[in-house]
């Protein structure tokens, strides 16, 4: 937060930080259908992209966000996020089952 002096009194004004400004990816969202487009969207949202590789008609992105490693599976034709998997023990995977 930043304190701002205005005409003899103090006001606390919350300013957005980079962490607040980042938007996480969600299931069903369209990211793009090629590595360059997907990488651009992920990086713009604060993800560190380790690799993106094709796998059986899908693109699998290995990423890190806020220190948490995860895999995002994207349909290679539509660019839609199909699955998101955190790399932690005991975490249930998220899958889009429509």
Residue 9 domain flag: no
Whether 28 and 40 have beta carbons less than 8 Å apart is answered as no
CA neighbor of 20 nearest in space, from 3, 45, 39, 2: 45
Residue 5 domain flag: no
- Give me the number of domains the chain comprises: 1
pTM: 0.68
pLDDT of residue 1: 47
Express each pLDDT in 2-61 by its tens digit. Answer: 444 445 544 454 444 444 445 889 999 999 999 999 999 999 999 999 999 999 999 999
pLDDT of residue 95: 59
Q: 38: domain range? A: 22-95
- Is the pLDDT at 78 greater than 50? The verdict is yes
> CA-to-CA distance for 12 and 2, rounded, in angstroms?
6
């Amino acid at each position: 937060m930043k304190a701002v002096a205005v005409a003899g009194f103090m006001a606390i004004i919350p300013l957005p930080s980079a962490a607040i400004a980042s938007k996480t990816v969600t299931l069903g969202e369209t990211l793009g259908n090629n590595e360059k487009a997907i990488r651009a969207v992920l990086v713009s949202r604060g993800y560190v992209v380790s690799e993106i590789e094709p796998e059986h008609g899908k693109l699998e992105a290995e990423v890190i966000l806020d220190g948490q490693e995860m895999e995002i599976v994207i349909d290679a034709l539509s660019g839609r996020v199909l699955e998101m998997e955190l790399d932690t023990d005991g975490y249930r995977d998220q899958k889009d089952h429509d």
